[in-house]
Amino acid sequence: MFTPVGMTTLGRPGRGCYIGTSGSMSTSIGEGARDVDYCLIADGLVIFRNKIYVMDNHELNKVISREFHAKPYSSHPGYQKTLTVVKKFYYWPNMKRDVAEFVARCSDCQRVKAECKHLGGLLQPITIPEWKWEVISMYSITRLLKTVRQHDSVMVVVDRLKKIARFIPMRSTFSASDVA
């Protein structure tokens, strides 16, 4: 898993300037400093609630989103998974909006995106016929080469129960009464 720079020092804050929730600054951690939200570590990073705070830099936000979304080892996860992974290490204002915009504009995701379609309704069972040739379907295959008997079409009759097909040679000039 990718570990951002400076994350190894997050478990135990070291020396530096600590900014409390009221905005006051102190140089040491005392008993009353448990409500500290921001801290500045030696690398010059600002830590907010044990996450790297990214200043208002849209390009840097894109780079971070791309790092967790569009790399070969991440296989383009969706919005929720990308946001969850980014939130583990980083924080910036409007993070959800920025990650959602990045994922929505990802060209690879748009090309492979599966359409979500609503189901048509409840399935209706098809009744099973009781006798052979009770329910049939008929198809005509036309414009074939003529045979010796001048047949240029084939009528296909299929029994739905036994899945038996009959192929009857015909002429395309036959009328409905001739076929019956």
pLDDT tens for each residue of 89-124: 998 988 999 998 988 888 887 777 666 667 677 888
Q: Which of 13-22, 99-108, 139-148, 159-168 has the lowest mean pLDDT?
A: 13-22
Q: Look-up: residue for tokens 């780079």? A: 63
Whether 167 contacts 154, CB under 8 Å = yes
State how far the Cα of 49 lies from the Cα of 19, in Å rounded to an integer: 12
Q: The domain 7-112: what is its CATH number?
A: 1.10.340.70
pTM reported for the whole predicted model: 0.45
C-beta pairs of 176-180 under 8 Å, 24+ apart in sequence: 179/155
**pLDDT confidence tier of residue 71, bands split at 50, 70 and 90:** confident
Quick check: 139 pLDDT over 80?
yes
Q: Please state, for a pLDDT cut of 70, what percent of the chain lies above it.
A: 75
Q: Is the dihedral of CA 10, 13, 17, 23 positive or negative?
A: positive
Q: Look-up: residue for tokens 């478990």? A: 11
Average pLDDT score over the chain: 78
State how far the Cα of 2 lies from the Cα of 26, in Å rounded to an integer: 32
What distances in angstroms separate CA 43 from CA 7, 51, 104, 143, 156, one per listed residue?
Answer: 10, 14, 33, 80, 80
Q: Look-up: residue for tokens 């583990």? A: 88
50 alpha carbon, distance to own chain's centre: 30
State how far the Cα of 96 lies from the Cα of 117, in Å rounded to an integer: 26
State how far the Cα of 120 lies from the Cα of 143, in Å rounded to an integer: 37
Quick check: 9 pLDDT over 60?
no
**Mean of the pLDDT values across residues 66-79?**
80
Token pair belonging to 9: 């020092």
State how far the Cα of 179 lies from the Cα of 143, in Å rounded to an integer: 17
Span(s) in the chain for CATH 1.10.340.70: 7-112
Residue type, position 118, single letter: H
| pLDDT tens per residue, range 45-57 | 788 888 888 887 8
